[in-house]
């Protein structure tokens, strides 16, 4: 995400392009990670997947709440 800034690029494309690459990577790797969570303890697969989903939502909420504050301070 810093590379376009260091290269002197600005505007929406400098943010959207790298975020598309990040989104693609997450879309490819997230199902494999969730499958690994479900295989840890077979008897607790539902608990593990629920915990993984809850943590994902909590971390996303914290990041969404912190992002505007970080942008306003810059």
The confidence score (pLDDT) of residue 62 equals 93
The confidence score (pLDDT) of residue 48 equals 76
Q: How many domains does the chain have?
A: 1
Task: Tell whether pTM > 0.85.
Answer: no
In angstroms, the CA 49 to CA 63 distance is 21
Domain span at residue 24 reads: 3-73
- Short-list 56, 60, 39, CA closest to 48: 39
In angstroms, the CA 28 to CA 4 distance is 24
The confidence score (pLDDT) of residue 1 equals 64
pLDDT tens digits along 15-59: 788 889 998 998 888 888 777 777 777 787 778 778 888 998 999
The DSSP line for 36-71 is: HHHHSSGGGHHHHHHHHHHHHHHHHHHHHHHHHHHH
The confidence score (pLDDT) of residue 59 equals 93
């Amino acid at each position: 995400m810093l590379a376009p800034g260091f290269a002197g690029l600005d505007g929406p494309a400098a943010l959207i392009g790298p975020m598309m690459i990040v989104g693609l990577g997450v879309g490819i790797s997230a199902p494999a990670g969730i499958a690994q969570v479900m295989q840890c303890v077979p008897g607790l697969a539902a608990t593990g997947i629920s915990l993984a989903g809850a943590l994902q939502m909590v971390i996303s909420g914290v990041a969404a709440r912190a992002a505007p504050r970080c942008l306003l301070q810059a």
